[in-house]
Every structure is written in C-alpha cells, then in structure tokens.
Amino acid sequence: MSDRSTLRLAVLGVLLASLLITLVSRLFFLQVVSADTYTAQSSNNRIREVVTPATRGLILDQLGRPLVANRTSLVVSVDRQEIADQEDGGKAVLTRLAKALGTTYTALSYKLELCGPDAHEKPPICWNGSPYQPIPVAEDISQELALTIMEKRSDYPGVSAGLEAVREYPSPYDANAAHILGYLGPVSDDELAAQKRKVQEAQEAGTPIADESLLRRTDLVGRSGLEAEYDEALRGTPGIKRLEVDQTAAVVGTAGETDSVPGQYLVTNIDAKLQSVVEKQLLEAVKRARATDSRTGPGKYKADSAAAVVMDVTNGHILAMASYPSYNPTVWVGGISSKEYKALTSTKSNFPLISRATQGQFVPASTFKIVTAAAALESGYSPYSQFDCPARYQVGNRYFNNFEGEFFGRLSMAKGLAVSCDTMWYEVAYRWWLQDGGLDPKAKPADPIEKMAKAFGLGKRTGIDLPSESRGRVGGREFKKLLYEQLADAWCKRAKTGYPEVATTDPSRAAFLKALAKENCADGDVFRAGDAVNLAIGQGDMVVTPLQMAQVYAAVANGGTIWQPQIAKGLVASDGTVVKQFPRKKMGTLPVSKSNLAFLRSAFTDVTTQPYGTGYNPFNGFPLDQIPVAAKTGTGQAAKAGDQSTSWFATFAPSNKPKYAVVMMVSQGGTGAGTSAPSVRKIYEAIYGIKGSTVDPSKSVLQGGAPARSLPTVKSDGTPVYPELAAEQAQKKAETASPSPSSTQVADDAAKPDQSGQAAGLVAVSPLLLLGARRAARRRRRQPPPTASPPGQWRTGGGP
C-alpha cells in the first residue's frame, strides 16, 4: 500500500476526529453554557395554564340589596385547536355557525385570530387570550340556538354553548348609581407591562408574587367607580390548573391545581331606596330648571348637568350620590360597541360618564359664605357684629353688586347669611385685603378666607373612595401666583403680538384681549381687590365639587370634624364571613371654635325658618319645628362666559342634632331656591318619612329611619340577605310552581341568574356553572376609558 494511501487515511482520521470535537463543543455550549435559557424554555413548553376565573364579588347597598350582581349569559365559544383540526381548517363549521349567529364567516374567523404581530390590524378584532381557552364569539344567544349547538355535536365540532357570568345591574328601586358603581374593561397592555415590571422587582427583592394574583390577558378589571377602586377585592383569585401537555397540546398530566376564590362582596353605605329618591329628585330639579325662564338671558334654563350628595355628617358615609346626565351601565357588559362609546363621550350627550358630584367643578357662589363667615368669626368679628348691606359696594373704581341689586341696610351676620347679602362680605374682604397690604402685599398676608377655605378641605381631594376625583381650587392669592407662573409667557407673547386671528373678525375684541394680555403680563400675579371680594362670595376663580360642599357643610354640622367621604362600608367574603368594616376616617378638624360653629348652625337654620331667609319659601310647610334644616342657597355666576347661573342648595339637618348633609347643584339651572331647594326638601321628606307636616320615621326610605349600623348578612351560599329577599323568593317560588314541562322552559330557568343551576338541561353541558360562572370574556379590543376632564369649568384667565 502506498504512502499516499496511508497519509490520506491519517488525514481522514483527523477529519473524522474534528467532526466529533465539533459535536462536543456544540454540546458543551448548549448544555453547560446556555442551559438556563433552554431550561426556561422547556418548562414554558410543557405547562399550560387553564384559568378558572373567579366569580366577581357583588356590590351591595347598606342593607344587602345587590346593586351589581352577576347574571349568566348563554355564550357560544369556539375551540381554535379543534377547529384547526378539521379537514378544511374549520371553514365549513364556521360558515354554518356564522349563518346560525347571523354573521359572516369572515367576521367570525377574525374573532378567532390570535392577537399579535401577525394578526390583522384591521378590522381590530382578535382574541387576546390564551389559544388554549375556548374563544367566546357570541353572547346572549337564544336558547334554541344553544340547544342546537349542543345537540348537533357533529355539525359543530369545536363549538360549545354554555353559561357565563356577566355583570348585571338589578337596579333596586330603579336606582341607577352608574357613576358610583363604575364598569369593567379589559386589561390594557400598559397595565400588563407595569405588572411585569412589578413582578420582576418583587422577584429581585426576593418576595415573588403569587401567579394567581396576577392579571391575565383575558381579565376584566374595574375601569371606573367602585369596580375600579375595589377591583382587587372584588376580583377574587382565579383557580389555576397547570396542565402538562405534549407537543400536540394533548394533556398528559396535572402539575398543580388551585381552586378559584370568589371575589369579596363590597357593601356600600349607599341605600338603594334613598339613592333612587335622590336620582329622581335630581331629575325633577333639572326638569324644573328647564321649565323656568332664565333671569339673565332669553329662553329657559338649560340645566346641562347636575349632582346631588347625601352624606352622614357623623362619619362621612355617602348614603346617596347622583350625577346628571347618567347612563345605563349595562352598555359596558360584554363589551361596549364603538357606537355606544361614541355616544357616551360626545359633546352632544354632555359626557354622561363624568360624575358631576366628584369630578365636576363649579363656582360655589353663596354656599361658600359658610367659609367666609367662619373666617370672619375666627378673625375678630363677633356673632353680634353689625354689617352694612347696600345694593352695591365700591372697590377701587369698580362697583360690586348684590344679587339682583337688593339692599338690606344694616343687619347682623346671621341675617346677612339668611338673606344672602353679598355687599357686606365685600366690605369685610376688602378690609382684609387692605390690611394685607393691598396691591403691595405684606410678606405674610393673613388671607383669612383663603386659609379658612383650605382648612375646610377645599382645593384638595376629599379622599372619597372613587377614582379620578377632582380637586377644585381655592381662587386666592396662591392660585393667582400659580396661574401666572404657568401663563406669564403666553400672556407676554400675546401682549406683543396681539390677537391677529381674532382681529380679522372682531377688531375691538382683539384690542380688548391684547390690553388684557398686556395687563396680565405686567402684573397677572397680583391678588387684586376684585379677586379678594369675589372670593368672599365664592365667585371668581373659586371652584368646588358638589361632594366637597357636602363635606364642608357636614363638618360645620358635626362640630368641626372633616370626615373622609366613604362609599364602602365593608367587605364580606362570598361565604358570608365579614372581611372588614371600613372605619370612618378623620381628615381634619376645622379651626373654628365650638361656639362659632354653633352660631353658624343656628344662623344657617334661619335660612329656612325665617321669612326673610332665601330658603324659607321652598321649606314652607316642612315640619322645621321637628326637623330643623340648616341651609344655604347659591346662585353662581358661571365661570364660562355666556353660561347661565349655577343653582346650589347646601344643607344639613336636623340642625340641632345634625345627622345628614344634603347638597344639590344644577349647572345652568337658575337660582338655588328655585331649582334645587324643592328637590332637597323632598329628599329630607323621604329620609324622615315626612308627609305634609307629620314626621313618621317608619315611613322613612331608610329602614328604621336611620342608616344601618352593621353589615348585612350574606348566607354561606353567597346569597345576600336584604329586606325584600323573602318577598322576592316567595314570588319566584310561585312562578316556578307553575308547570313547565318543555325543554325550552328548562333552559329558561337555567338561564336565570339566581338559580345556581338545578335545571338539568344546560348544566350537564356546562359544569362550570356549578363551580361559579365564568367572567365574561371580551372579544375585541376596545378603547381605553375616557379620562376626559370636566368640560368648561376651568377658566384659564385672559378671557373676557
């Protein structure tokens, strides 16, 4: 054999050896260097989580009446895997189903597409949940269709029909309370991203968060109101079954299982019956305003929005709270359509999603005098001081008028408040302003009104347990400075450039605006005498939310304590055990002496009891001897030019032993006495069971004539016990006693919310119903909820 042969053999041997060395190197890289990566991938690979959503907790009123419940809805779901396994990729099945549902194959198949980079951007429908979970494609289908799908398995492979839980609003006594209850929406990408960060941080900190408590793509979360505020408690913990699956997604074993824990029941301080009365009376006030000729201009009052609050002054509990316009919360169930959403967020509908009680900001007008009076009393004025009340009062070169040019001559503080004299407070405020240095203020001005307003909690959130509350603002010296800091640049620019865009249409207005800009640029931060006197009567830059006003009146009523307004009363587990009772929370104490507060209570009572009081007429015939009502009317000049006046009526009662504060506000609604006061009176009549001039606590809308002290009972099966329950159950019993032999009837019964599924027909198909109905899953991406600010109440200055 030749040398060449041997040499080549040797080279071949080396080549073969190098192949093996290559393999070992690669093996080392995979198994030793990057082992972690692959181990992680491997465990993701084989575990599939099947989530059994927890039943969301109910929201109850103070007596246990469900305000938000869960209803079962017949839902058609499609299993992607099974559909994909069809010979034609499921086209025939889906076409058949689409026809039955009255939709098209294309529309249906979009719903089954997984969201992700590959998914169609348009139309924006895709399934953003787990591909291993059946995808709901239609809700609230007819029982006939459900039965067809269930019976004709061969026609509908991969398609199932079953009962799922969706939010339901039983509206006891027609109480709507939409703004309090809120609504649910799908988890957003941002929230999931934030959660991911949180989980990572927790992991690094060595305190990992349990998987069960995490939000999942398919979850619905509270987007507004109590649903958002108490989302975590209401949500419960989903049950997670960790299935080991193989490559074909066939289940080969169970790696772990946790049962779902239903969400807790949120008991509120709201009384459904009272809430219903308040909503009705608020609507009455709006109607009343719209039937009244405007005093300031042509036509009737527009009454574009309104709000009312009933608070327990002894603890801050909100017993009822309403906002107009409202909406039907059911629109959110199962996903809001874009048409509905547009309607709810349009100017035409006047933004019914915004709660005017907590998010609307309005000029408080004369209702603010309770603050001014407190400031006067604490700054040296005695309750017996005498004031002048001319028709107008001159400040510098400007005259400030009384409401409608009235004059009362010399009067006491109490009478001044009762008749709602403005000019007396102008004088008081002007004097204080001069004492503080006038246009050349002292380093530490006293600013008694501004300080008192802040001490009452104005200009900051009340702390109510609802999201997105507005702050309002105290339109004093500090605000002027703040505003100037923000707008000085703009003003000074305008002072130079003028308003050419306005000049083309209205040269004189443009000249006026330019002059104003110039003035503001020069000394826009100066707290002028005009600002000072406007603040004294709650005008100008001063704005409050109706809830803030209720808090203010409640604080005077209860002897000086500012309680945090509280809607939630407690949390009860679905098995009836009390989780917690929310204690009242003190936010502050008024810097006002007990005697001065007592004086204020009596002075404000004069408003309704004295014939000269602005609230005398509306309360004529009301048994004030038994239930004395302290009140203050307010007729605010709207901040926005051209708007009609804001009607206020702020009250508390009984003024000798205060229990309730009731505040009502109607925007562009006319006078406080004419529009709001009659409705507030009706609310008191409902609370005290007043008919004519007789007080009958047993006729009160509140059970026992007072708010409930303890939490309502929830039975161990999750049924809340409330006064009407027995009657309702008896009625139901009577209904079910009637013969119902047909299978459709059986399905009928099963679909009813409260029957936990004794009806055989559907339960056999949907065992989930027994475990606790599933939360409704959405089928399309929706827009995030509105974060719109209340319209038109923020005056940016510089305008005429």
Partner 1 sequence: MTLAYPTSVAPRRNQSLARRLDWPLIIAALSLSVIGALLVWSASSSRLNDFELDPQTYLKRHLINLVIGIALAVLVSRFDYRLLRAYTPILYGLSIIGLVVVLSPIGSPINGVQAWINLPGGFSIQPSEFAKIAIILGMSMLLSEKRDAENEPRDIDVVYSLAVAAVPVALIMLQPDLGTVLVIACAVFGIIAVSGAPARWLIGIVVGGALIAFVAFQVGILKQYQVDRFTAFVNASDPELARTIGFNTLQARIAIGSGGLFGQGLFNGAQTQGRFVPENQTDFVYSVAGEELGFAGAALIVLLFGVILWRAVRIAMRASDLFGRLVATGIACWVGFQAFENIGMNLGIMPVTGVPLPMVSYGGTSMFATWIAVGLLLNVHLRTKE
Residues that bind partner 1 (CB under 8 A): 1-6, 8-10, 12-13, 16-17, 19-20, 22-24, 26-28, 30-32, 34-35, 37-39, 41-43, 45-46, 244-248, 252
Nearer to partner 1, 130 or 345 (CB): 130
Residue 255 CB, nearest distance to partner 1 (Å)?
10
Token output for 357: 């009680």
Residue 116 CB, nearest distance to partner 1 (Å)?
11
Task: Quote the CA–CA distance of 566 and 586 in Å, as a whole number.
Answer: 11
Task: Quote the CA–CA distance of 638 and 625 in Å, as a whole number.
Answer: 35
Residue 108 CB, nearest distance to partner 1 (Å)?
24
Q: How many CB atoms lie within 10 A of CB 117?
A: 5
How, if at all, do strands 59-60 and 265-268 pair? parallel
Nearer to partner 1, 16 or 482 (CB): 16
Nearer to partner 1, 242 or 460 (CB): 242
Contact (Cβ atoms closer than 8 angstroms) between residue 592 and residue 586: no
Nearer to partner 1, 24 or 727 (CB): 24
Contact (Cβ atoms closer than 8 angstroms) between residue 369 and residue 403: no
What percent of the chain is helix, strand and coil (3-state, nearest 5)? 40, 20, 40
Nearer to partner 1, 23 or 291 (CB): 23
Residue 117 CB, nearest distance to partner 1 (Å)?
9
Spatial neighbors of 111 by CB under 8 A, at least 6 apart, are: 78, 125, 126, 127, 135, 137, 779, 780
Spatial neighbors of 279 by CB under 8 A, at least 6 apart, are: 174, 175, 176, 177, 320, 322, 326
Contact (Cβ atoms closer than 8 angstroms) between residue 311 and residue 274: no
733-759 burial, b at 16+ Cβ within 10 Å, e below that, comes to eeeeeeeeeeeeebbebbbebeebbeb
Task: Quote the CA–CA distance of 456 and 661 in Å, as a whole number.
Answer: 15
Nearer to partner 1, 36 or 440 (CB): 36
In the numeric block, the tokens 């469900």 are attached to 66
Residue 106 CB, nearest distance to partner 1 (Å)?
24
Nearer to partner 1, 43 or 382 (CB): 43
Contact (Cβ atoms closer than 8 angstroms) between residue 702 and residue 310: no
Residue 33 CB, nearest distance to partner 1 (Å)?
9
Residue 48 CB, nearest distance to partner 1 (Å)?
11
Residue 12 CB, nearest distance to partner 1 (Å)?
6
Nearer to partner 1, 244 or 748 (CB): 244
Residue 584 CB, nearest distance to partner 1 (Å)?
55
Nearer to partner 1, 22 or 589 (CB): 22
Long-range contacts of 637-640 (CB under 8 A, 24+ apart): 637/363, 637/365, 637/539, 638/363, 638/667, 638/668, 639/363, 639/543, 639/792, 639/793, 639/794, 639/795, 640/792, 640/793, 640/795
Task: Quote the CA–CA distance of 430 and 394 in Å, as a whole number.
Answer: 10
Nearer to partner 1, 20 or 205 (CB): 20
Task: Quote the CA–CA distance of 341 and 359 in Å, as a whole number.
Answer: 19
Which run of H or E residues covers position 770?
helix 768-771
Residue 1 CB, nearest distance to partner 1 (Å)?
4
* DSSP code at position 796: -
Nearer to partner 1, 246 or 735 (CB): 246
Q: 545 to each of 362, 628, 793, how far by Cα in Å?
A: 6, 25, 11
Residue 131 CB, nearest distance to partner 1 (Å)?
13
Contact (Cβ atoms closer than 8 angstroms) between residue 53 and residue 774: yes
Task: Quote the CA–CA distance of 670 and 265 in Å, as a whole number.
Answer: 41
Residue 250 CB, nearest distance to partner 1 (Å)?
8
Nearer to partner 1, 184 or 245 (CB): 245
